[in-house]
Amino acid sequence: MGSKINMLIHLSVRHLAVVDDITLSFERGMTSLTGETGAGKSILVDALGLVLGDRADSNMVRHGCDRAEIEASFDITDNIVLQQWLIEQELNDQKQCNLRRTVSSEGPSRGYINGRIVPLSQLRMISENSIDIHGQHAHQSLIRSDTQRLLLDTVAKTKPLLAKLETAHKHWQNLKHDVAAQEVQSEQHIAQLELLQYQINELVPLDLSESSVKELISSQQKLAHASELMTTAQSSLHSLYDKEEGAAYSQITQALSNIEALTNIEPRFANIVEVLNSSSLQLDEAAGELRHYLDNNEQDNNLLTEVEIQLSALHDIARKHHVEVEALPAHYRFLCEQLSQLTNSEEHQAQLERELAQQEGICLELCQKISHMRQEAAVPLAQEITATIQQLAMPGGRVDFLITPMESSRFNDTGADHVQLLVSTNPGQAAGELGKVASGGELARISLAIQVVTAGTRSVPTLVFDEVDVGIGGSIAEIVGQHLRQLASTQQVICITHLPQVAAQAHRQVQVSKKQLKDTTYIELIELNQSQRIEEIARMLGGVTITEKTLSHAKEMLEHTP
């Protein structure tokens, strides 16, 4: 056995189906669980599956109980990947991994890792990195192409590249969707572009800066009231300055002269003089402004007509665009921005197409690497499986992996290959599809050979085999047991079996039996010592009647185990 401690060390099950309360400890090497048919051996595998995130059903809860509870502990001293994952999830607990699953009779269930409640997906993450369960019906899925591809990928160790490809392919699909959406909108964009360009061309000849529009409106108002403005300016200039008698400027300057002459007598007049002096200057300045206005603003009817024509054109175009004249500059900017956006959308589409092509290149490069790894692994894996099935009563059997490029699509998130497992069960027979060539028994033996061959390639430390040896017996069963024991030199192996040849190969053996007490049925587990193992192996060999010869045979089988 290997020196690493990296395994399932404890399983506790309460109130699950016929299980009342059992606890089972595990060690390194190979452990066989044996017992009569219907004793409940597979319930332990079901319990293990539940605590590792399998779907639960309230019917699993033992009759009369509120809930079922399963606990499992793993020593992950050497499982660096799982240690790191637990640290990242803030679930680490001194290199221990304790799982717990409760299933309520009312329906809901809960999962725990190191005492913290977690979603079931995290329990399944523990499973991926700690244990691999091979069910007794695994061969039924082997005829599916996905299963065959996964088998090859497991051995080829393509998982890291496949994870990258999955991410890259998803990005490629998103880009492809975006490009398609842009293409659907392209015809609409063309029509919008034509309309916007027409509307902008209408507005371009007009000076539509906000200042120019305001100035035009102001000019029209001034020109329309030019006569009134001139009359008011002339009368105001006359009253303030040009009037011969009584002009405001003359009266103020006269008052200033009179008061200024008396400042020597009344010093307080000095302030008044200052105010009047300022007023006379301001009046003089106002008069100058009025003269300048009158000199430079002669009424020009032609200019008024020209301004009103321009303003009328602005009103017409504003009504056409459903805005006020004052809002035309902002409307013109809005149309220009829309045109720019649509123009940019065409550039964006071109950019998306470039990104799509680039992302496709990334995907294809990953696919090429994955395909190369599959090609390299396919031949030696096929040879190893072939050698194993020939030991399992199929002397002329042969398997091959056929790897061909995908036809319907260039690639997907699993690569660019179609992987097919072909088999020939007799010498000289052409290899064909597994599901069409192999009988049920042959398929089961091929599946077992594959599980034995590939189990050692998995990084998980614990392997569980649940009656995968159904339909096999005699010397073939002994070979299967030898393979499983060999696996136990590097990984922990737990094997539920009805074959004495397999059970005898185990380092330790646990007997599972179903007991009845009054109206209650429960499961009992006994770890067998050497003499008890002889009796259990003899029972498995001889059935109901156990003879001295059977006991002797059982003892011999155990003694000849390496």
pLDDT at 363 over 90: yes
Task: Provide the number of structural domains found in the chain.
Answer: 2
Q: What pLDDT, in 10s, does the model give residues 3-30?
A: 445 689 999 999 998 888 899 999 989 9
Cβ atoms 500, 541 nearer than 8 A: yes
Cβ atoms 548, 556 nearer than 8 A: no
* pTM of the model as a whole: 0.64
| Domain membership flag for residue 541 | no
**Alpha-carbon distance values, 12 to 15, 98, 222, 522 (Å):** 10, 11, 99, 14
In this prediction, residue 323 carries a pLDDT of: 73
| Domain membership flag for residue 82 | yes
Residue that wins the pLDDT comparison between 270 and 232:
270
In this prediction, residue 416 carries a pLDDT of: 94
Decide the pairing of beta strands 492-496 and 30-34. Answer: parallel
Cβ atoms 349, 182 nearer than 8 A: yes
Q: What is the dihedral of CA 521, 523, 528, 531, to 10 degrees?
A: 20
Q: How far apart are CA 528 and CA 513, in angstroms?
A: 12
Specify the CATH number for the domain of residue 466.
3.40.50.300
203 and 323, same domain (yes or no): yes
Maximum pairwise Cα distance, the chain: 158
Q: What are the tokens at 158?
A: 């393509």
Q: What pLDDT, in 10s, does the model give residues 276-291?
A: 888 888 888 888 887 7
Domain that holds residue 124: 1-130+461-528
| Domain membership flag for residue 356 | no
User: Domain ends where: 294, 313, 342?
Assistant: 342
Residue 191: is it exposed, middle or buried by C-beta count within 10 angstroms (0-12/13-18/19+)? exposed
CA atoms within 13 A on the CB side of 44: 34
Q: What pLDDT, in 10s, does the model give residues 206-261?
A: 666 666 667 666 665 665 555 556 667 667 777 777 776 777 778 888 888 888 88
76 and 210, same domain (yes or no): no
In this prediction, residue 157 carries a pLDDT of: 92
| Domain membership flag for residue 485 | yes
208 and 332, same domain (yes or no): yes
| Domain membership flag for residue 69 | yes
Q: What pLDDT, in 10s, does the model give residues 156-167?
A: 999 999 999 999
118 and 194, same domain (yes or no): no
Q: What pLDDT, in 10s, does the model give residues 539-554?
A: 988 766 788 889 999 9
85 and 203, same domain (yes or no): no
In this prediction, residue 2 carries a pLDDT of: 42
83 and 209, same domain (yes or no): no
Share of the chain above pLDDT 70, in %: 84
Cβ atoms 390, 427 nearer than 8 A: no
In this prediction, residue 427 carries a pLDDT of: 80
Over its C-alpha atoms, the chain yields an Rg (Å, rounded) of 48
199 and 301, same domain (yes or no): yes
| Domain membership flag for residue 510 | yes
User: Domain ends where: 342, 364, 386?
Assistant: 342
Residue that wins the pLDDT comparison between 402 and 336:
402
Residue that wins the pLDDT comparison between 155 and 242:
155
| Domain membership flag for residue 161 | no
- 3-state class of 107 per DSSP? coil
The per-residue pLDDT of the chain, averaged, comes to 82
| Domain membership flag for residue 549 | no
User: Domain ends where: 297, 318, 342?
Assistant: 342
111 and 9, same domain (yes or no): yes
- Give me the mean pLDDT over the 552-560 stretch: 90
